[in-house]
Amino acid sequence: MAPDTRTTEIKRLEDSIESAKKEANSKYDQLFSIMKDQGQQWEHTANTHEAQIEGVKDLLHGLTQQLESVMQRFPSLPGESSQSRDKHAAYQNEPAFRHNYTTEGRPSNYKVHRPKHLFPVFEGEDVHRWLYKCNQYFDIEEIDELDKLKLASYYLDGIALYWHQNFMRNLNNHRVSWAEYVEALCNRFGGQRDPMEDLIDLKQVGTLETYIHDFDVLWNKAGIGEKQALVIFLGGLELEIKNTVKMFEPKDLRQAFNLARLQANTLLHRQQPGYIPKHSVATTSHSLPPKPIHQPNLATTPLSTASNIPADEEEINGEEVQEEEVIPHISLNALEGTVGFHTMKVTGRTGKQTLHILVDSGSTHNFLNSSIASKLQGELTTITPITVQAANGGKMLCDSVCKGLQWKIQGVSFEADVFIMDLNNYDMVLGIQWLSMLGDILCNYKHLWMSFDWQGQRVLLRGENPIKFQAIKLEQLKGLLSNQKQLAEVHLCSLRILEEDDFTLGRHLQRYDKGRRQVVGCIPYRYKNGSSNTSEVEDELEVLVISSQKGKGMLFPKGGWELDETIKQAASRETYEEAGVKGNVEHQLGHWTFQSRTHGTDYDGYLFPLHVKEVLDFWPEKNNRQRKWMSVEEARECCQRGWMKEALDVLVDRLAGRQQLGEEEMGSCSSSYQAKSNL
């Protein structure tokens, strides 16, 4: 190509390139201008909708948490380990929070929900506590009945998880409800004993707070009402605490707890080294050297309050310790006929006269009932009238004393002077005047015994158990009061008018087994001629039946088995109260389950034979019932309880078998005797 042509072509290309460059620069400027305008619009849009974008973030965060909440409602997948559940539980333990983003001062309308309650994990311990927390969670989160088992089983671990897997594997595709699952779970991890049995057997052996803690745990498991729980709580307290609390008649457990704590603190204060009791003789260990008894001849009678000081210490720094003059004092227990914390009731004799004696460290002197003194042959000495201060604030005058009265307690002879007074409830009261004669005394008021050295021998005196108070109806009280000869002692603690439903509170003191009241009774029997001499036992046998209080017909005596007695003691007591007979309670006839005609509930019934030895003319329910001796055939016809008729047949068969066995033994003995005679 020619040089000119090549130059022309190059120039043309350069012009084309220059033209293209200008066009590109122009388009670039246009594009830059457009992009600048769009950037300004985007910036404006971003500033305008910044709050809406943050709201979208908040929405995404809430959806994530809701998804986690839904996932926890499903059981673990096959192969999932408990570690993954632990991680999930750790995630639940993180503090819950909610984002509160605003847009130009306006709060977001979306509220994020997150469960605040953690589901408990169960590893086989304290199943009742775990089930209670489960039910709380179900109520709060409104869990459907069909989902309860799935959710609860997700939080099983340890031996509980192994048991669950075995339980579900053996269902054979049978669908089990939550209630059925709970029953099976309690049978496996709830323990072998009935919680009610553990609650009744619970006694205070350590501190009061430990006892209250254990009582609350067992009460929760037993699931009984507060009235019944109150009776059981009082029964398990230590004797000194229990007697004080019962005296104030607490209406609920809150009052009983407070009263028990006050008494426990009082006893703790008495145990401190600096505490000095009012009467040293009333403590569990006494140190009372023998001292001569001061005879009352003035308005006041000397009584040494320093009697616990040894003889070689009665002079301090060469000065003799002066005895304090005090007024004779008689305690409220001696006046009211009750037994207190530091008293003991014993029986003694003076000559042929029986004495009901109260050993009372709350009384200063010895007192003898004037009615007993009038029967004694000993002479009474008239003294200048002295004032005896009573614990209830009253004052009594005493103008005579019996010197050198001799009496015996449990085979041990004693002699002392006694004041003569009108005592309504005891024949004799032995106070500090008598206790100071005994020297060092070791007493146990809980188990009612006292030990001391007397005339060169160690003496142990045992007290009588105090009479158990119980609530009775007015008709029963009238029946008791109508017999002055048989009635030994009555102490009216309180008198209240009760509705019929309120009087059933006594049933809280009785035994129950799986909700069924335990009823025990006897079939009282005797032989017409005193013993059975014929082969037909049924012809010679008589049984005692009583009328029903609420229904028609006759029946055998029976009633509730109380917590503080054996089954034979309960049977004997009910027979005495309802039929007025006493005797030997023999081997149980059987066990029946029957339905109460009054309440329509199932009862457990136990009947015993009672061979009657004594028929009383007066008994607690004499005015409420009638009794009648009948033949076996007559008793079968008039008895309205089928289970009692069955027990009667068992008794007849047993006595017939016993007589047949006796005849065989007598025949064997006769044959043996005849063979020896032939020899």
Residue 648 and residue 521 in one domain: yes
In a domain, 292, yes or no: no
- The CATH number of whichever domain residue 394 belongs to comes to 2.40.70.10
Q: Count H helices and E strands in the chain, helices first.
A: 20, 27
d(CA 643, CA 594) in angstroms, rounded, equals: 7
Residue 617 and residue 560 in one domain: yes
In a domain, 445, yes or no: yes
Q: What is the largest CA-CA distance in the chain?
A: 181
Residue 648's pLDDT is what?
A: 93
The answer, yes or no, to whether residue 103 has pLDDT greater than 50, is: no
Partners of 541 in the β-ladder? 527
Residues 6+ apart with CB under 8 A from 202: 211, 214, 215, 218, 232, 236
Nearest one of 528, 542, 538 to 629, comparing CA atoms: 542
Summarize pLDDT for 441-460 with one digit per residue, the tens: 888 877 888 899 998 888 98
pLDDT class of 414 with cuts at 50, 70, 90: very high
Residue 579's pLDDT is what?
A: 92
Query: DSSP class of residue 437?
Result: G
In a domain, 12, yes or no: yes
Residue 95 and residue 240 in one domain: no
User: Which long-range contacts link 377-380 to residues 24+ away (Cβ below 8 Å)?
Assistant: 377/351, 378/402, 378/404, 378/405, 380/420
CA 385 → CA 253, 398, 430, distances in Å? Answer: 50, 5, 20
In a domain, 518, yes or no: yes
Residue 265's φ and ψ, nearest 5 degrees, are -65, -35
d(CA 374, CA 361) in angstroms, rounded, equals: 26
Q: Average per-residue pLDDT in the chain? A: 76
The answer, yes or no, to whether residue 409 has pLDDT greater than 90, is: yes
d(CA 410, CA 459) in angstroms, rounded, equals: 10
E-strand stretches of 281-375: 285-288, 301-302, 315-316, 319-320, 325-326, 329-330, 343-350, 353-360, 367-369
pLDDT class of 130 with cuts at 50, 70, 90: confident
d(CA 396, CA 555) in angstroms, rounded, equals: 53
Residue 641 exposed, middle or buried by CB count within 10 Å (0-12, 13-18, 19+)? buried
The answer, yes or no, to whether residue 197 has pLDDT greater than 90, is: no
Helix boundaries (H) for 439-524? 474-481
Percentage helix, strand, coil for the chain under 3-state DSSP, each rounded to 5: 40, 25, 35
Of the three residues 48, 68, 83, the one that is the final residue of a domain is: 48
Residue 506 and residue 648 in one domain: yes
The count of other CB atoms within 10 Å of the CB of residue 90 is 9
Q: What is the rounded (10 degree) CA torsion for 308, 313, 314, 318? A: -160
Residue 256 and residue 375 in one domain: no
In a domain, 312, yes or no: no
The answer, yes or no, to whether residue 176 has pLDDT greater than 70, is: yes
Residue 338 and residue 218 in one domain: no
The answer, yes or no, to whether residue 31 has pLDDT greater than 90, is: no
Residue 470's pLDDT is what?
A: 61
Residue 20 and residue 76 in one domain: no
Residues 543 and 635 sit within 8 Å (Cβ to Cβ): yes
Q: pTM of whole model > 0.75?
A: no
Pairing type for strands 329-330 and 325-326 reads unpaired
Residues 321 and 306 sit within 8 Å (Cβ to Cβ): yes
Residue 251's φ and ψ, nearest 5 degrees, are -90, -20
In a domain, 322, yes or no: no
pLDDT class of 509 with cuts at 50, 70, 90: low
Residue 667's pLDDT is what?
A: 54
Residue 310 exposed, middle or buried by CB count within 10 Å (0-12, 13-18, 19+)? exposed
d(CA 496, CA 507) in angstroms, rounded, equals: 18
Residue 504 and residue 650 in one domain: yes
The answer, yes or no, to whether residue 673 has pLDDT greater than 80, is: no
In a domain, 491, yes or no: no
Summarize pLDDT for 579-598 with one digit per residue, the tens: 999 999 999 999 998 887 76
Summarize pLDDT for 131-165 with one digit per residue, the tens: 888 888 888 888 888 888 888 888 899 998 999 98
Among 95-104, 415-424, 547-556, top mean pLDDT goes to 415-424
Query: DSSP class of residue 504?
Result: G
Among 167-176, 293-302, 324-333, 637-646, top mean pLDDT goes to 637-646
Residue 172 and residue 243 in one domain: no
d(CA 652, CA 541) in angstroms, rounded, equals: 8
The answer, yes or no, to whether residue 389 has pLDDT greater than 60, is: yes
pLDDT class of 672 with cuts at 50, 70, 90: very low
**In which region does residue 260 sit, left (phi positive, over 0), alpha (psi from -120 to 50) or beta (all else)?**
alpha
**Structural domain for 37, as ranges:** 3-48
Residue 172 and residue 208 in one domain: no
In a domain, 470, yes or no: no
Residues 6+ apart with CB under 8 A from 677: none
- The CATH number of whichever domain residue 590 belongs to comes to 3.90.79.10
Residue 285's pLDDT is what?
A: 44
Residue 472's pLDDT is what?
A: 66
Summarize pLDDT for 199-257 with one digit per residue, the tens: 888 899 889 999 999 898 888 877 788 888 898 999 899 888 888 888 788 889 998 99
Helix axes 253-270, 208-222, angle to 10 degrees: 160
CA 622 → CA 476, 489, 562, distances in Å? Answer: 8, 18, 22
Residue 220 and residue 178 in one domain: no
Nearest one of 257, 251, 249 to 233, comparing CA atoms: 257
Residue type, 280: S
Of the three residues 243, 270, 297, the one that is the final residue of a domain is: 270
Q: How many domains does the chain have?
A: 6
Of the three residues 403, 436, 462, the one that is the final residue of a domain is: 462
Residue 333 and residue 447 in one domain: yes
Nearest one of 346, 348, 462 to 407, comparing CA atoms: 348
